[in-house]
């Protein structure tokens, strides 16, 4: 199962190369995608995390380069959590404070 991590390309500070490098080193099964707009403009940079049969998460206020380690930790927790439902987000570091919404899997 490949998770998808969507990063808003419209947000200023959207550093895709730094985050891509951190994800590649992690070895996690996640595809990083640049999206035109994720509509989290009030707190850039926006990011979404989703996978088939798993919860979807939406974050805003992400620093892709500075939060790269916390984003990798969040993806790791997401992939190991039943149905992607992270019960204890302390392992996500600062990223947990950027969570704006979580939607259960279909």
DSSP character for 88? -
Q: Tell me the pLDDT tens digit for each residue of 36-49.
A: 889 888 889 999 99
Q: What's the rounded mean pLDDT across residues 5-31?
A: 89
Domain limits, the chain: 3-103
Q: What is the pLDDT of residue 89?
A: 95
Is residue 12 very low, low, confident or very high in pLDDT (cuts 50, 70, 90)?
A: confident
DSSP character for 53? T
> What Rg, from alpha-carbon coordinates, does the chain have?
12
pTM of the model: 0.94
Q: What CATH number has the domain spanning 3-103?
A: 3.40.30
Count of CB atoms situated within 10 Å of the CB of 70: 20
- Residue 46 C-beta-side C-alpha neighbours within 13 Å: 19
DSSP character for 102? E
Q: What is the pLDDT of residue 1?
A: 64
Backbone φ and ψ for 69, nearest 5 degrees, come out as -65, -40
Residue 25 is inside which H or E element, if any? helix 16-26
């Amino acid at each position: 199962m490949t998770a998808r991590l969507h990063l808003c390309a419209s947000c200023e500070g959207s550093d895709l190369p730094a985050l891509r490098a951190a994800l590649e080193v992690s070895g996690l099964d996640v595809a990083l995608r640049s999206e035109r707009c994720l509509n989290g403009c009030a707190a850039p940079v926006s990011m979404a995390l989703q996978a088939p049969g798993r919860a979807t998460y939406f974050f805003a206020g992400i620093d892709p380069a500075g939060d790269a380690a916390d984003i990798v930790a969040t993806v790791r927790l997401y992939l190991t959590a039943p149905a992607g439902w992270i019960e204890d987000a302390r392992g996500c570091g600062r990223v947990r404070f950027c969570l704006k919404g979580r939607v259960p899997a279909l």
